[in-house]
Amino acid sequence: MKAILKLTVILTIFLTHITIALAQTKEDIIYLADGSQKKGKVVSIGDDVIKFSYTGEEVQYELKRQAINKIVFANGREESFQSAAAAQSNNVSANPGTNKVEQGNIIAVIPFEIVSNDQGLATDAMRREIQQACIDAMRSRGLSFQIQDPRATNAALNKAGIGLADIANHVPDDLAKLLDVDYVVLGSYEIENKRYKRRSVDQIACDVRRFQ
């Protein structure tokens, strides 16, 4: 009888240790949107990132919330993140104007007006070339503006029936609305004595207007 009681006590202690060990090995499981998993301990959940540590490590790693599908915590609780991300995406799609207002940095460079004593130089090809030179000069300076593709700019002007030589007859606000941008760059370029000399954007008379 004593032997049976002793065996029962030993088994109870042994099973208790097993239970504790199993409890200690439980991990938080992070299911990523690409189908992979990460196991460890979720340290914190922020608005943009989630911090976690791998089991046995003290180093903390960060994951973007949008890259996470769900988290199954060690206690069995689940938290989904894709539904919130989808709702945010749908909200942006339903309100495209909001995203544009937040950016507020889209520029369209209009083909330049040419001032010359030789009207044979005032061609559309020359206007487009100077337009591209201005864009290249602006991009080389690493400005924080997003510059509209000049092909899209010129195509929109042509579709609206605005010739490159007729741009000066249109106000900047109307051009900005037509091109769906925040700023327009208008400029004039002087060519004398039938010689074309490329100048930097500083030497080109530009008129930058903000579209309200």
CATH number at residue 123: 3.40.50
Tell me what the pLDDT averaged over the chain comes to.
73
Q: What is the pTM of this model?
A: 0.43
Taking the CA of residue 181 as centre, how many other CA atoms within 13 Å lie in the half-sphere pointing to its CB? 27
Nearest C-alpha neighbor of 44 from the set 26, 71, 67, 25 = 71
Averaged over 116-138, what is the pLDDT?
Answer: 80
77 vs 6, which has greater pLDDT?
Answer: 77
Averaged over 99-107, what is the pLDDT?
Answer: 61
Ranked by mean pLDDT, the top range of 63-72, 119-128, 191-200 is 63-72
Residue 95's pLDDT is 53
Q: Do 87 and 106 have their domain in common?
A: no
Give the C-alpha separation, 177 to 179, whole Å. 6
Residue 133 lies in a domain: yes
Q: Do 121 and 87 have their domain in common?
A: no
The per-residue pLDDT for range 164-201, each reduced to its tens digit, is 777 878 888 888 888 889 888 887 777 775 554 544 44
Question: Which CATH number goes with the domain that contains 60?
Answer: 2.30.30
Residue 3 lies in a domain: no
Dmax (CA) for the chain in angstroms is 121
Least confident of 55-59, 133-137, 198-202: 198-202
Residue 129 lies in a domain: yes
Nearest C-alpha neighbor of 114 from the set 104, 126, 106, 101 = 126
Full residue range of the structural domain in which residue 121 is found:
100-210
Q: Do 147 and 68 have their domain in common?
A: no
Residue 4 lies in a domain: no
Residue 10 lies in a domain: no
Give the domain-ending residue among 72, 94, 116.
Answer: 94
Confidence label for 9 from pLDDT (cuts 50, 70 and 90): very low
Residue 5 lies in a domain: no
